[in-house]
Structure 1
Amino acid sequence: MLVNQMKKWKLLPPPPEGVLKDCHLPPLLTHLLFNRGVTTPSEVEPFLAADERLQGDPQLLPDIAKAVARILRAVLNRELIAIYGDFDADGVTATTVLTEGLSQLGGRVFAYIPHRQEGHGLSCSALEEVRLQGASLVITVDCGTGDHREVEEARAKGLDLIITDHHRPTSHLPPALAVVNPQREDSSYPTRELAGVGVAFKLLQALYEATGRRSPDELLDLVALGTVADLVPLTRENRYLVRKGLEVLNESHRPGIQELKNQAGVKRVDTQAISHTLAPRLNAAGRVDHASEAYALLVATSTSEASELAARLERTNAERRSLTEKVLEMAERKLGLPVEAPILIVGDENFPAGVNGLVASKLVEKFYRPAVVLELGEETSQGSCRSIPEFDVLAALSECRELLTRFGGHAQAAGFILPTSNVEQLHKRLTQIALRRLGGLDLQPSIPIDAEIPLSSLNGEVFRLLERLEPFGPGNPVPTFLSRGVTVMDCQRVGENGEHLKLKLREGEISWEAIGFDLGSLSEQVTSSVDIVYNLGVDDWGGERLLRLEILDFR
C-alpha cells in the first residue's frame, strides 16, 4: 500500500428541498446547518444561540448523588481533599476548576498532578503520597476509569476515591466510591463527549446546586480552554460551555491567562487561538518538564508571578517544538520510505514520551496511516497512538490487552504501557489488526466541502453569517467552500523558509488575498486558473481586520 497524498474533495450534498423552510433562513445558512446535523426547526435556535438550553442536568451523570454526598461530608468535617489531575491541558484545567470551586465551598483542598514519567492515570505510589499528606478523599479528574488495581489498593489503605473522567471504559469499572463518567454504558447523560474539565465542572455545578449556590460560571474560562484543547466535539453541551467560556476568557482578569495571552501575542481568544496558541503552551509544561508549572500559572494571583511563569512556558514550548521536529526526523528515518505498512509503529530509547503523541499526529498527517510511537525502556515501554477515522485504535489496543500493563484513551488517540519484552509481539498483533480492518481500503485523506459557490458571492455579510455558527471545532468545522476557475494574479512563497503560499486571486471584478499555510512546496503547481478549496478567514495584521481566503487545497 503506497501512500497517495492527493486529497479527495468530498462535496457534501445539498439539503433536501423543504428542510428548515419554515425558519426563513438564508439558503447558505440552511445548507451549513444541515451539514452539521441540524435538520428540524426546533434545533435551529438553540444551536445558533448556543445558550444554557444546551446544558444537561448534572443529576443525570452516573454516581453523581454519591459523589456530592461524600464531598459535602468532607467539606463539613474539614477533611483534606486531594484533586488528582493529569498532565495535559484538559487535566490541568480540570484540576484548577475543582481546587478553586471546592475552596469556594470552604473545602480544604490541594492538587496532585503526576509527572508524565508516572504515566497517565493513577499510581499506587502517588496515592500513598497524598494519603501521607493527610488526604482522606481523592477526587480524580480526566483519569481513573481503568485503574482497578490502584483503586483497590487505595481503598485497602483507607482512602475514599471519587473518579471523574471522560475516557471510554474498556472493561468493568473500578471499585471507587463513585465513577462519574458520561461514557459509562449505563449513563443517561445527553452529552457523552464532555472533556475531563467538562465533567469536573458538572460535578461542581451539582455541588453548588446542593448548597443553594448559583452555577460557578466564572470558571468557564478554564472549561473552554480544556475542552478545546482536548479536541472533543463542539456539539451539544460542549458548544454552550465553549461559547460561554470564550466570553469569560476574553474578559478574564485571571493573571495567568492574561500573561499567557501577552506572551503569545493573542488579543482576542477564539477556538483557533486556543488550539493553535494557548493550549500548546499549557501542554508544553507536561511534555518537557512538569505540568505543575501550567497549574501554577492558572492559579497565580499576582501579575509578576504570572508573567514569570508565562515566560517560562514560552521557552518550554519552543523547546517542545524543537524536540518534536528532532524526534519526527528520527522516526521517519527508522520507518524508511516508501511507507507500505497499514499502521506505522516506531520506537527508540531516545524518543521522549512527552512528544511522542505529537510525533504520531504528524506521521498520521503526512502518511494517512494510524501511528504508534514508543519510548523504549529496559524493562517497561510506553507508547502514544494517533489514528485515522477508519481505524479505532482504542479498540485495537483492547484486542491486545493481555500484552499491556495499562492502556486507555479514545478512538483516534490513545496511550499504553507494556513490558518491553512484549513490544515485538504487540507490533505483530497491531499490524494484523490493521491489515484486517484497513486492507482493501483506499487510504486517502479527504476534505469535506460544504458548498460550491462563486468567489464573487463572498462578502462581509457572508462572513457575519458564518460567525453565527461559532464556536468552530471537531463536530462543527469551519465552513469549507469550493470555487472553480479562479484567476491567479500573483503567487509567491512566504514564511521564514518559504513554507506558505501567498496568492492574489480574482473572479470578475473582485480580487482576494489568499494564504495557503504549509502549501509553499506546491508553488510550481499553481497555474493561471485554479479550482480552490478554502475557508473564509480574517487577517488581523496591523490591527485592521481584513477578510482573506485560507486555501486548503487547489487543482
Structure 2
Amino acid sequence: MQYTLIGDNDYLFSPVDTIFKNRGVTNKEDILNLDESKCHSYKLLKNIERAADLLIRHINEGSEVFVQADPDCDGYSSTSMIINYIKKSFGKCNLTWHLPKGKEHGVEVKNVPNNTKLVIIPDSGSNQYKEHKELQEKGIDVIVLDHHICEEESKDAIVVNNQLSPLYPNKNLSGAGIVYKFCQALDDKLGLNNADNYLDLLAIGNIGDMMDLREPETRYLVKRGLDNIQNPMLKEIIKKQDFSMKGTVNIHNVGFFVCPLINAGVRFGSNEDKKQLMEALLESKEEVYYKKKDVYESIQEATARNLGNLRNRQNTARDNSTEKIISIVESSNLKERSIIVAKVGDFLDKSLTGLVANNLAKKYKKPVVLLREKENGIFTGSARGYDKGNIKNFREHLLDTDLFNFCEGHDNSFGVEIETERLKELEDLLLKTKEESTGTGIEVDFEIPFNDIDKQLVLEVGEYKNEWGSTIQEPKIIYKGLTVAANDISLIGKKKNTLKLIVNDIEFIKFFVKKEEYETHFSEGETFYIDVIGKCSINEWNGVRTPQIEILEYKVTETLLF
C-alpha cells in the first residue's frame, strides 16, 4: 500500500483540530458554528440594484425576456433558479430559455429571438463584450449574473459578478450564489420573501462547481439549502440515490451522487435529454409515458432514471478514453514532465475532455492539459490542475507563460486555446521545468500503531461525518500492525461479501470482498498482522453506537499459523 502522511500526525491530543488544520482551517469553529452573520449584503455586489430595477421594468412592460443557460450543474441550477423565481414572483411573463447543444459558454446572438427586449445570462457571459455590444445595437438589454474571472467590466451590459465587485469579500460563490443574491435584491424591491425557496439549487450549483466550502458564507448557504430540499427534480434524484447516500443529504453525498448525474445529463445527454432535465428542474407537472411498465410517471421520475443511465454510459466512455490517453502519456514519456500536455484525437468525445483530464491529474498527481485541433493553426481543450501539488493556481501559471490565447474558467478547471507554433515553445518550457514530488498513494492524516488504537478517536472523528466534502476532504487513517485473531475475522452480509474485522471494540469493514480474496488471505492462520487504510464512521443500530472504520485498502503483513 502506498500512502502519504499529511500534517504533523497529532492524533493523541487534538485529532479533529489537526484534521481541519491539514485542510487549511486554523479555527474549525469558523466553519462549524455558522449563522446569518456570515452572510454579506447583496448590496455589496456592484450593479445588482441596477440589474434588479431593469428586470422589474421589463417584466412590468410585458417585454420578451430570454435566458441563456450554461452547460454544467451550476449553469442549470442558476438558470432554473432565476426562471422559477421570476414565474413565482411575477406570475405570467413572456419568458423563453435556451440550452447550448455542446459546451458553448455564454449567449450566441443568433439564438436570441428578434422580439426579445432583455437577455439574462446566468453563470457565464462576463467577457462576451462583442455579443453585449451587438445585442445593445439591436435595442436588447443584457443582464449578466456570473462569478467567473474576467479582465474588465462590459460597457454594454449590466454585469453582476463577485469577481468584479471590490466591496464583496466572498469570491468563492458560484453562479447559483450570484443568482440567489439577485433574487434577494428583487425580494426587497418587490416586498417578497421568495429567494430562500431556491437555496437547494444554490447548494447543488456551488457543490457541483466545486466552490471552496471553507468560505463561511458559501458553506452556510449550502448547508441551509441541503437542509431544505424543495425542488421536485432534486427530490427525485435524491430518492433514486437513497441507497448510495444511506439516507443522508450532506456535502459529500451530494457531490458524489447528485451533481454527477446532473452533469451527465448536461454533458452526455441528447438535446431532448437536456430539455427534459431543464423542464424537470423548472417544476413541470408534465407526465411522461414509461413504455417498459406501460404507465405514466412524473417528468422528474422519468428524468432521474434517465440521468442514471446517462451517467453509466458516460462513465464507460470516460474510462475507455482515459485508458487510451494513458497509453499515449506512458509511451511518450509525458508523465516525466512537470505538466502533462497531450494532443487527443476524435476518439475522445469533446464532452468528456474535462472529465478525462481530471482523471489524469489525479492519477499522475500533476496538472494536465488535453488539446485537440480546432482548425488549422489553432488547438483548444481542457486543463485541470492538481491542487495538492506545487502549482496552486494552474490557470495563472499558464497565463504567465504568455503562450495561450486564453485560459478561461476557474483556477484549476478551465478551457484553453493555443496556436500551433506556440506548442513547441510550451514543450520546450516544460522540458526545462521540474516539479517537486507531491507524494504517492492515499493521503492520510494519521499513522497509528496498534498499541495506540483508540475507539474514542474513531467516534470523535465520526461525529463530523456531515462536515466532509469538497475542499474539506474526508480524513483517512492508516493503522499499522493490527493484531487480529482468526475468530474476529469474517465475511458477513446477505451475499457474504463484506469483510469484517474486530479490533479493540472497533469494527473494520470492507465492502464487496470476493470469497476468493478472503480465502487467500484468511483461510489459514490463528493470528494475522494487518495494515489498514480507512475512514472513520459510526454505525448506529437499535440505539447502540459502534465505532467503525470503512477499509479502503489493507495488507496482511504476517500470518501466525499456531
| TM-score band w.r.t. shorter chain | 0.7 to 0.9
CA distance in 2, matches of 1:109, 1:540: 50
Give the total of aligned pairs: 514
Q: Give 3-state SS (helix, strand or coil) of 2:228's partner.
A: helix
Structure 2 counterpart of 1:354, from 343, 351, 354:
351
CA contact (8 A) 2:462 2:536 kept: no
Q: Give 3-state SS (helix, strand or coil) of 1:81's partner.
A: strand
CA contact (8 A) 1:452 1:481 kept: yes
For residue 358 of structure 1, report the CA deviation from its aligned partner. Answer: 0.7
Which residues in structure 2 correspond to 1:85-484 (within 5 Å)?
A: 85-106=69-90, 107-116=93-102, 119-122=104-107, 126-132=108-114, 134-169=115-150, 171-184=151-164, 186-214=165-193, 216-235=195-214, 236-249=216-229, 252=230, 254-266=231-243, 267-288=247-268, 289-290=270-271, 291-302=274-285, 304-337=298-331, 338=333, 339-344=335-340, 345-379=342-376, 381-389=379-387, 390-391=390-391, 392-399=393-400, 403-404=404-405, 406-417=406-417, 422=419, 424-434=420-430, 439-445=434-440, 449-451=444-446, 454-458=452-456, 461-462=459-460, 465-467=463-465, 470-484=466-480
Tell me the percent identity. Answer: 23
CA distance in 2, matches of 1:111, 1:272: 31
Q: Give 3-state SS (helix, strand or coil) of 1:116's partner.
A: coil
For residue 208 of structure 1, report the CA deviation from its aligned partner. Answer: 0.9
CA distance in 2, matches of 1:61, 1:246: 25
CA distance in 2, matches of 1:308, 1:411: 36
**Deviation readout 1:367-413 (Å, 9 max, x if unpaired):** 12211223434456531111112233312443466753x54111211
CA contact (8 A) 1:393 1:414 kept: no
CA distance in 1, matches of 2:547, 2:158: 50
Aligned amino acid, residue 470 of structure 2: P
Structure number with greater Rg is 2
Greater mean alpha carbon deviation, residues 365-374 or residues 192-201: 365-374
CA contact (8 A) 1:450 1:479 kept: yes
CA contact (8 A) 2:76 2:278 kept: yes
| Inter-CA distance 488–414: structure 2 relative to 1 (3 Å threshold) | farther
CA distance in 1, matches of 2:548, 2:512: 11
CA distance in 1, matches of 2:64, 2:485: 67
Unaligned runs of 5+ in 2: 286-296, 556-562
For residue 69 of structure 1, report the CA deviation from its aligned partner. Answer: 2.0
**Deviation readout 1:458-477 (Å, 9 max, x if unpaired):** 4785256324xx44223322
CA contact (8 A) 1:516 1:551 kept: no
For residue 104 of structure 1, report the CA deviation from its aligned partner. Answer: 2.0
CA distance in 2, matches of 1:102, 1:150: 24
CA distance in 2, matches of 1:39, 1:364: 27
Alignment-derived partner of residue 292 in structure 2: none
CA distance in 1, matches of 2:132, 2:55: 18
Q: TM-score, normalised by structure 2?
A: 0.80
Aligned amino acid, residue 434 of structure 2: G
Aligned amino acid, residue 395 of structure 1: E
CA distance in 2, matches of 1:150, 1:324: 34
| Inter-CA distance 446–333: structure 2 relative to 1 (3 Å threshold) | closer
Alignment-derived partner of residue 23 in structure 1: none
CA contact (8 A) 1:347 1:375 kept: yes
**Deviation readout 1:136-194 (Å, 9 max, x if unpaired):** 1112111112222222222222222222211222x23332432212123x522122110
For residue 101 of structure 1, report the CA deviation from its aligned partner. Answer: 0.9
CA distance in 2, matches of 1:393, 1:63: 30
Q: Give 3-state SS (helix, strand or coil) of 2:162's partner.
A: coil
CA distance in 2, matches of 1:282, 1:511: 35
| Inter-CA distance 276–30: structure 2 relative to 1 (3 Å threshold) | closer
CA distance in 2, matches of 1:155, 1:229: 32
Aligned amino acid, residue 69 of structure 1: D
**Given the alignment of the two structures, is residue 73 of structure 1 paired with residue 57 of structure 2, yes or no?**
yes
CA distance in 2, matches of 1:196, 1:385: 20
Aligned amino acid, residue 409 of structure 2: G
**Given the alignment of the two structures, is residue 486 of structure 1 paired with residue 482 of structure 2, yes or no?**
yes
RMSD: 3.8
**Given the alignment of the two structures, is residue 58 of structure 1 paired with residue 54 of structure 2, yes or no?**
no
CA contact (8 A) 1:349 1:376 kept: no
CA contact (8 A) 1:502 1:515 kept: yes
CA contact (8 A) 2:536 2:547 kept: yes
CA distance in 2, matches of 1:386, 1:280: 17
CA distance in 1, matches of 2:220, 2:149: 23
CA contact (8 A) 1:450 1:480 kept: yes
Greater mean alpha carbon deviation, residues 237-246 or residues 449-458: 449-458
Q: TM-score, normalised by structure 1?
A: 0.81
